[in-house]
Amino acid sequence: MGIPTIKKCCCLELKWGALIAVVVDFFFGSIVFFDADSERRSINIALYVLVLVYIAHIVCMILVLVSLCVPKKQLVAPYLITAIICVIVVVLFFIIVCIEMGELNILSLVLIIIKIILAVFLWIVVFSWYKKLAGSADT
């Protein structure tokens, strides 16, 4: 069984779905930073790592936008890699926040869970665009 792909996103062509996915990922990428400021050193270190990963991820988002104009699958691959790294780092951040803050900050925990679910869906959309570009290059 392989990674699931989709043929359309929100009743639009996959090209437009990839555009929507990148824009949504850009705007909701900072959702994990909301109300996560803490005096605890471990949370601050994790937050700095998360910011560095997202800076690299934003650069890769720009590459996906370029791939919409210049259909090359090599432009999409870095996004897929950094998106996986982002999800892993966000999950680790979630674990650290759970350990350090307990139930004191439920809103942050809920927003982090929403970000993880959203990131997985957006990754599937962009991965489907990548597979479409790979298929169109072969024909």
- The residues spanned by each domain of the chain are 54-134
State the sign of the Cα–Cα–Cα–Cα dihedral 44, 113, 35, 32: positive
Q: String of b and e for 104-115 (b: at least 16 CB within 10 Å)?
A: ebeebbebbeeb
* Average of per-residue pLDDT values in the chain: 80
Specify the pTM. Answer: 0.81
Is 11 a residue whose pLDDT tops 60? yes
- Give the pLDDT confidence score for residue 133 in this predicted structure: 86
Q: Select from 107, 114, 56, 43 the least CA-distant residue to 82.
A: 56
